[in-house]
Structure 1
């Protein structure tokens, strides 16, 4: 095996990651329609309140339950429980009422914005639409913001996320790396 092939194998082994897809569908909410929503954990992710007042939606969702807000400006934040990296592919946004609702779906890595999908949904009370992020970028925080004067509500459901996980546990990676470097040293000595 050549030196270049060994280094390539090491790099691929250390950098190897896979994803674990999950859908945050709010199915583990146990309150009644209109109950205060203060955040929860599901599928290894934490969903927290960024701003506004959020409530559980058991009568209207893209599959109930979901969450809704009537605040003029509201946001939620999604992170991996205990910290970590992930990607997101889509989120279902709903409008139970009266017209145009500005939205922003933004992914962050640290304090840097990695992607930003912004627009206006106008479902005129017709239900939910799936908004694709169009991003495969790795993030550590997802913020979903909705705004506009409300007489009824706007809703969030079915946040599709993929947790980035190492396929080789960190201690095993370190041992493998040290063994490979030691093997390289042995090969160099043998050639002399």
Structure 2
């Protein structure tokens, strides 16, 4: 299990939660330092929100959001497998009473495209995108099967890279007008290099 840096590309939202539980900040210490802290109360239900994201060797990706005001955690995951999330949280050292929830079939990613992001793979030496995936696990499996080299990057859907990074509160992203927004590339935190179908440094995005 490895932490994933923010902004993180998770294809589900809070309404698609699969695990919830009451918790204190101390009970979440085993997760390490949060990847992102939202301090703007206009963006939260009140108080700060702490965010962690992880990816397992088996391809499970999940994000945990903890509300400081409510002392409550919500987890979304891809694939949305509550039992796998609980097992991963216990393996990370979080021992508490979890409430699990199965998503309705029509909201499962096997039956529809991702809502928040797509994964673009550009092969080594290519001048255009080689392949587009709705989930990172699908990209990983395809790259391993084909033994390809290149770069896999997550891009937000229905918004610009600029707006997505501003929403995460990245301090170095300035206020820009139309010309700046259309040229903005950003750092795109989830960017991974592959060699012969294997990630060069799993869990650590490329510079």
Q: Please tell me the TM-score bracket, short chain as reference.
A: under 0.3
TM-score, length-scaled by structure 1: 0.23
Larger of the two Rg values belongs to structure: 1
Structure number with the bigger relative contact order (C-alpha 8 A, sep ≥ 6) is 1
Normalised TM-score (structure 2): 0.22
